[in-house]
Structure 1
Amino acid sequence: MSEEAQLRELMCLLAKSMFDRGLTGGSTGNISARTSDGGLLVSPSGSCFGRLDPARLSRFDAKGMLVSGDKPTKEMPLHSAFYDTRSTAGAVVHLHSCHSVALSMMPEADEDDFLPHLTPYAIMKLGKVKLLPFFMPGDAAIGDAVKGLAGKRSAVMLANHGPVVAAKDVEAACNAIEELEDTARLAILTRGHSPRGLSETQVQNLVTKFNVEWE
C-alpha cells in the first residue's frame, strides 16, 4: 500500500472513531492532511465522519488545485488558513463536539485562553486555545480570523460552532482535539463547584518542560 493510500485509510479510520464515540454527528466536522508531495487530502462536502470513503476524499495538488475526489468541505478557508500560517501544520481537524460548544456559550468564557487549566494534557497538546466569535459556517471570514492570529495558535474554538485543531500529523490533530473536548466536558461537569485547577506555577512548569507555545 502506498504512503498516500495509508494516509487515506488512517484519516477515515480516525474520523469514524470520533463519530462512533459521539464527538461529531451527522454530516458535521471535517478533516484534512498534507500529502508527501505538498498536496492535501480533505473530507468532502456534506460527508459523514462515520462513512468516509478513502477513494472519494478531495485531493488537492501542491498548487491548491482540486485534482480528484469529491467536492471538498465548505470550510476550506478555515483549513487553508492554518496551513498558510503554521509551517508545522500537517493536518487540521474540525468537530461539532457538544461540550466545547456548550462552554463557548458561557458568559465567562475567556476569549484569549478558552480552556480552564484543569489537567496537564490540554496545555501540553494545545497551548492556549483562542475563542473566536460566531461566523456563518463556510464564511471565508473564519479563515481571515485564523490568519489574523499569525500562526501563534494551534487551536481555536469557533463560538456556537466547534473546535479546530492543527498539528504535525492527522493522528496528533485528532488526539489534541479530543483532549480539547475532554477538558471542556470537565469544565461543564465541574461548573459551579469551584474545582481545584492547576496553579499558575504548575502551568508555567508544564509550558517550560514540554516547550509549549504559550502566547
Structure 2
Amino acid sequence: METEAILRRELVAAAAQLAAAGMSPGSSGNLSVRHDDRIIISPTGSDLRSLDPDRLSVLDFDATLLSGPAPSKEYPFHRAFYRRDETLRAVVHVHSLAASACSCLDPWSQRSAIPPLTPYFVMRVGQTPLIPYADPGDPAQADAIQASRSRFRAALLQNHGAITAGRTVGEALEAVVELEHTCSLLLQLGSRPFQLLPPEAADRLAKKYDSPWG
C-alpha cells in the first residue's frame, strides 16, 4: 500500500504532465487519488501545472472537507468511480481538445461513444460511454456514472470532456492519454469509411489485459 505522501506526489506529477501536454488548458481539469476512506483531490480553480502536494483537498466519502482548500466542484463523479469499483485508486478529468470534441458528437454505441479503432484503445481504455449532459458539479452526472450497470473505467461527459479511472495514478493517466489519441484519430478519419478491430480481436485483447469491453 502506497503512503499518502507518495500518492500526493504522484497526483501532482501526473497533473503537471497533463498540463505540459496541453490536455488541461487554464484552470480546467482535476485529479484525485483514493487513500483508505478518503479522497485527495485537486482544489477548485487550481492550475494543474503548479499543484502543491501539501495543498490538496481531502474529503471523506460523505463529502466533508477534512483538510486543505475547497475541493474541485466536480468531486462527485470522482467519488462515483470509487464507489463503483473498490479497486480503483485514481481518477483523472480533462477538457482535452479531441475528447471534448467527441463528447459533442453522437456516440458510436450505447455502451461506448468511441469505437474499437486500435488495439491500444481496447487494452488501455476499454468501452467509454457518453454520460448525458449536466452542468459542471451537478451530482446528476455522478449519479448516472454510479447507477450504470455497464463495466467501464472511462467515460466522455457530454459537451464537456473526458474522465478515466485506474488502479494506480499511472494507469488512469495512461488511459486518458490513450483516449485523447483515439478521439483525435476518430476526428481525423471524419466521414470517410474506416475499419474497426475485428470483434474477436477486441474481445481477446480485453480479456488478456483485463480491460472492460463488451
CA distance in structure 2 between the aligned counterparts of 1:39 and 1:106, rounded to whole angstroms? 35
Q: CA deviation at 1:33?
A: 0.3
**Aligned positions of 1:159-174 closer than 5 A:** 159-174=158-173
Kindly indicate whether the alpha-carbon contact (under 8 Å) linking 1:39 and 1:64 is maintained by their aligned counterparts in 2.
no
1:133 to 2:99 alignment? no
Name the TM-score, length of structure 2 as normaliser. Answer: 0.92
Q: CA deviation at 1:137?
A: 0.5
Q: Name the counterpart of 1:106.
A: 105
- The AA in structure 2 aligned to 1:26 is G
CA distance in structure 2 between the aligned counterparts of 1:116 and 1:104, rounded to whole angstroms? 13
CA distance in structure 1 between the aligned counterparts of 2:71 and 2:87, rounded to whole angstroms? 22
Q: Name the counterpart of 2:49.
A: 50
Q: Name the counterpart of 2:74.
A: 75
Q: Secondary structure at the match of 1:93?
A: strand
Q: Secondary structure at the match of 1:55?
A: coil
**Structure 2: 5+ residue stretches without partners:** none
Deviations 1:10-38 (A, max 9, x none): 21111011111111111111100012x43
Q: Secondary structure at the match of 1:56?
A: coil
Deviations 1:50-88 (A, max 9, x none): 111111100235775322111000011111111112111
Q: Name the counterpart of 1:85.
A: 84
Q: Name the counterpart of 2:207.
A: 208
- The AA in structure 1 aligned to 2:15 is A
CA change 1:137–1:51 in 2 (3 A) is: same
Deviations 1:92-145 (A, max 9, x none): 111101101111222464332111211111111222111112110000101110
Bigger mean CA offset, 90-99 vs 144-153: 144-153
Bigger mean CA offset, 128-137 vs 144-153: 144-153
Name the count of aligned residue pairs. Answer: 213
CA distance in structure 1 between the aligned counterparts of 2:63 and 2:141, rounded to whole angstroms? 19
Q: Secondary structure at the match of 1:129?
A: coil
Kindly indicate whether the alpha-carbon contact (under 8 Å) linking 1:88 and 1:168 is maintained by their aligned counterparts in 2.
yes
CA change 1:61–1:78 in 2 (3 A) is: closer
Identical columns (%): 36
Name the TM-score, length of structure 1 as normaliser. Answer: 0.91
- The AA in structure 2 aligned to 1:99 is A
CA change 1:202–1:145 in 2 (3 A) is: same
Q: CA deviation at 1:152?
A: 2.3
CA distance in structure 2 between the aligned counterparts of 1:93 and 1:119, rounded to whole angstroms? 22
Kindly indicate whether the alpha-carbon contact (under 8 Å) linking 2:107 and 2:130 is maintained by their aligned counterparts in 1.
no
- The AA in structure 2 aligned to 1:66 is L
State the superposition RMSD in angstroms. 1.9
1:14 to 2:14 alignment? yes
CA change 1:207–1:108 in 2 (3 A) is: closer
Q: CA deviation at 1:3?
A: 2.6
CA distance in structure 2 between the aligned counterparts of 1:206 and 1:171, rounded to whole angstroms? 20
CA distance in structure 2 between the aligned counterparts of 1:12 and 1:108, rounded to whole angstroms? 32
Q: Name the counterpart of 2:118.
A: 119
Q: CA deviation at 1:210?
A: 2.5
Q: CA deviation at 1:169?
A: 1.3
